[in-house]
Amino acid sequence: DAKTTQPTSMDCAEGRAANLPCNHSTISGNEYVYWYRQIHSQGPQYIIHGLKNNETNEMASLIITEDRKSSTLILPHATLRDTAVYYCIVRVGSNTGKLIFGQGTTLQVKP
Amino acid sequence: EAGVAQSPRYKIIEKRQSVAFWCNPISGHATLYWYQQILGQGPKLLIQFQNNGVVDDSQLPKDRFSAERLKGVDSTLKIQPAKLEDSAVYLCASSLVLRAGGEQFFGPGTRLTVL
CB distance A32–B100 less than 8 Å?
yes
CB distance B104–A32 less than 8 Å?
no
* Residue A59 at interface with chain B, using a CB cutoff of 8 Å: no
Contact B6, B108 (CB under 8 A): yes
CB distance A101–B33 less than 8 Å?
no
Tens of pLDDT along B71-112?
889 999 999 999 999 999 999 999 987 655 678 999 999 999
Question: Which of B77, B95, B96 has its CA nearest to residue B34?
Answer: B77
Give the residues across from B75 on adjacent strands: B23
Task: State residue A93's pLDDT score.
Answer: 57
Q: Is B111 helix (H, G, I), strand (E, B) or coil?
A: strand
Q: How many CA atoms lie within 13 A of B66 on its CB side?
A: 8
For B46, name the nearest residue in chain A, comparing CA atoms only.
Answer: A98
CA of B101 vs chain A CAs: smallest distance (Å): 8
* Residue B95 at interface with chain A, using a CB cutoff of 8 Å: yes
Q: Which residues of A touch B48 (CB under 8 A)?
A: 96-98
Q: Which residue ranges of chain A lie beneath pLDDT 50?
A: 1-2
Residue type at A24?
H
Tens of pLDDT along B19-43?
999 999 999 998 999 999 999 999 9
CB distance A94–B104 less than 8 Å?
no
Q: Which residues of B touch A44 (CB under 8 A)?
A: 43, 91, 93, 104, 106
